[in-house]
Structure 1
Amino acid sequence: AAMPGSVPSALSPLPGCAFAPRCAQATDDCEKAPPEVVSVGAGRVSACLLTPEQLAADRVPGPAGNPEPVVVQSLRPATSEPDAVTVTDVTKTFAVAPRGRLHALRGVKLQVGHGESVALVGESGSGKSTLLRIIAGLEKATTGSVTLAGAGRPQMVFQDAGASLTPWLSVGELIGERLRGMTRTARREAVIEVLDRVGLPAEVAKSRAGQLSGGQRQRVSLARATVVPPEVLLCDEPTSALDVSLAASVLNLIGDLRRSLDMSVVFVTHDLSVARVVADRIAVMYLGRIVEIGPAEQVIGDPTHPYTRALVDAIPDLGRESRVLPGEPASPLSPPTGCAFHPRCPIAVEACSGDELDIRLVGKPDGAHQVACLERKVP
């Protein structure tokens, strides 16, 4: 579960404990003066007015063992609206020296419904970010097409918010760039409104990116992307550089923005536990292809493709040692014949490497969950 609130602004330090606005056990005294650091046991110190006994008495006990993660997404609602994104047979190759071709995407098909959130997961080099950039219009597909609903372009939030925010402009100027045609007063009010929407105080508008924390910079990126609400929000691992509590709050914020602004979201991540929180559906990619796609809970709770199973087994879990997937992904410069995963697959048979193998998604009985594996291997 995400920690409530956000880190206070360093521009206006609080008179008392800096954590008091987010602390469920804070008292009036906590807001008057900073607490002193005191010893609370052998080798342990704490800067808190409450004693360890008081903290323990007020603490709500959690479940034994490893609790189930809080899943905040809502399943895709039934709608008559056209799909927000339709990717049809998209391939992408890059020329590399000497006279080589890197096959980044190999015949990708994907539909993202109106108001739906889809996560693209997979190891580095699987083609996730390339697909996102093609949807954004930052790259052009070698073959195939991308169709977008609505007139506006998708907006993108990058992994490194600091690098995507112009350092010499104030936050207000960065956000206001997308509000051309408005009066100065209307623009200022719109900036303050969107900052409040992403959980930042109005005074942040005067700051520059270098004066903000990583979590605040990512919120500014979200504010800039949504000050004019887009049909589609594209997120390229926006929480991978944040600590756990900040990452959880940003994920919750993306979910809130998606629902309040009625946006579709395509979210790239290498972390299945993040995908489970943020997405209605998960598309698992390997070497430029989608090898499994379906409802998030089904893909993680009942993975079908051997690669998806390996990714789920690699998720760290208390009380269980994660199993590391053996080998390295095949080179996109020379993809294997047949199923690209067969050199690492524990259940591969000779047919998996065949030149004529039909690599396509095959529906499971419910129709919503599909997998690209030999049909007899689909439970």
Structure 2
Amino acid sequence: MSTPSSSRPAEQGDGASVLIGALAPLTRPGWTEAGRHLIAGLELAAGEVNDAGGIGGRPLELVVRDTAADPRKAAAAVDELARLGVAAVAGEYHSVAARAAATRADALGVPFLCSSAVLDALTEEPSSGRVARLAPPQSRGWRIYADFLLGAGHRRIAVAAEPSLYWTAGTRVLRDRLTPRGGTVVALGRGALTPEAVCEELARHRATALLLLAGHPEPAVPLVEAVRRDQRLAGVLIGAPAGQPEFATWAASLGERGAAVPFLRYLPGRLGPLGARVGTALRERLAEAPSFVAFEGYDTIAVLAEALRSHGASRAGIAASWPHLAVEGTRGTVRFTRTPGTGVWQWARPPVQVVDRDPAQPHRLRVLHSG
């Protein structure tokens, strides 16, 4: 983790470091495990860039700031990073924080490459073209998740959703995809998402699937435990499209009860040579299996390094590079296309899988569906 002592502009050519601002949720209520994996990927890639000679002989330096999943902290961090002279801002996992960061970076003229947040409306207003994203938009990933539910025979879907722009947008995507195909989506817990209330409503609505659109570990873990204990709900599928079961703390908290909870993961069916090598290095760095978020972090720096090499370290040059890049990442070749109506440059086809933890081996992930 790096904090520079001066505010020298990143454009200067005196051998100073090329500064990249890195945003991640490193404290609660952010999903800190996601933040840790994201930073691990960013740092691994930055180290490899520097081992290979840096950017035109200048070292690449990450300036890490914690968002705690708070939009106000994210925007304030972008202000600080801009004053410090970063060439670009990158990272973030939580969509509401990423949206605030992207909007502020765009207003300040700083390129922002979003690593892992999926909310379709990544900026409050159409971007000027400085904002790009690696993660798939929520509308694509969650439609794939809805198709998985339909294919598995689920038509009556209940959602336990906390108040949030992200969860509201996800519910809308599910409803728009499922309803024309004979499915129904019922929102539970209009008040507090207490485990008892959710179980009662699940039984009353006779839903066959419950989707946890809620934070981890609270209230997701108590909800899983309550539903698993309720004999009336023995056949109900529990799902968590946002990816809560991806992380080791989920298995540690729930054990076998946390298995067979499908979630979205952004990895290909098979990693190529680069992905396999990076996966091994990430496992050593993290002392556990790397999540897809760690790979997203690595790919973020790989893309920015190529932008810096090909278009220079000025902010304008980086922003101009998005449509011209073709970067071999850990999960495929990254090319950006402009998202209509938003101005955001989007990796067109990042891989999307629906996976769960194997009930026989909860530490092993199974691929259930790909899109």
Check whether TM > 0.5. no
Q: Which structure shows the higher helix fraction?
A: 2
